[in-house]
Amino acid sequence: MGFRSNLLVVGLAVIVTCAFKCDTDALFSDEVTPIPVRDENRRSAEKDPKAKDVMAAKLDHAEQILAGLVTHDFEKIARSAESLKLVSLKHPSGWKKETDDKDVYEHFRMEFMRQAARLEREANNRNLAGAAYFQQSLTATCIACHDYMRDEDLKSK
């Protein structure tokens, strides 16, 4: 089996494990809690981030999270999850759909931040299965947002 197949098997095992070990009441709760952010000044000095730079930063942090999951480096996972929250605080500029789909992007952005906060909490609790579950949820949110934006671009042509 190749690396991707092994990664898929590990991912599925993590999901199954999380189903038994995660706090399912909190997982499926409709309760809204504030997203904790330590220090907004740690963000990039650039006040008006460009969409390309924001997406590159998110991808970099996501890669660090995956590396942390594979090596059980919970501090790296928590740091990268916090960085994802910070990067997502502001709507990026230079995005051609900024006016038409601001509400839709805002929904995806807030869901992304909520999942990053949960990922950070699971990493701080040293819960590998929970952290992996929320890492996969973050990835699914990224794919859904990018698919939505790409599909809407194709409809407008």
Q: What's 93's domain CATH number?
A: 1.20.120.10
CA distance 153 to 157: 7
Tally: H helices and E strands in the chain: 6, 0
Residue 43 forms part of a structural domain: no
- Position 102 in a domain: yes
Domain enclosing residue 21, as ranges: 3-25+48-155
In this prediction, residue 147 has a pLDDT band, given cuts at 50, 70 and 90, of confident
Structure confidence at residue 85 (pLDDT): 92
Query: What's the pLDDT at 42?
Result: 42
pLDDT confidence bin for 15, thresholds 50/70/90: low
Q: What is the pLDDT of residue 105?
A: 78
Distance CA 78, CA 86 (A): 12
Percentage of the chain modeled with pLDDT above 90: 40
pLDDT in tens, 25-70: 555 555 555 555 544 444 444 456 777 888 889 999 999 999 999 9
Instruction: State the chain's mean pLDDT as an integer.
Output: 77
In a domain, 39, yes or no: no
Instruction: Output the CA angle 117-122-126, nearest 5 degrees.
Output: 145
- Whether residue 42 lies inside any domain: the answer is no
For the residues 77-97, what does the mean pLDDT come to? 82
Of 55-64, 83-92, 103-112, which one has max mean pLDDT? 55-64
The tally of domains found in the chain comes to 1
Considering the domain boundaries, does residue 81 fall inside one?
yes
> pTM of the predicted model, to two decimals?
0.66
Give a yes or no: residue 60 inside a domain: yes
Q: How far is CA 2 from CA 9, 40, 62, 132, in A?
A: 11, 41, 22, 20
Do the domain assignments include residue 40? no
Answer yes or no: is pLDDT of 141 > 70: yes
Q: What is residue 41's predicted lDDT score, i.e. its pLDDT?
A: 41
Per the domain annotation, does 139 fall within a domain? yes
At 123-138, the pLDDT tens digits run 999 999 999 999 999 9
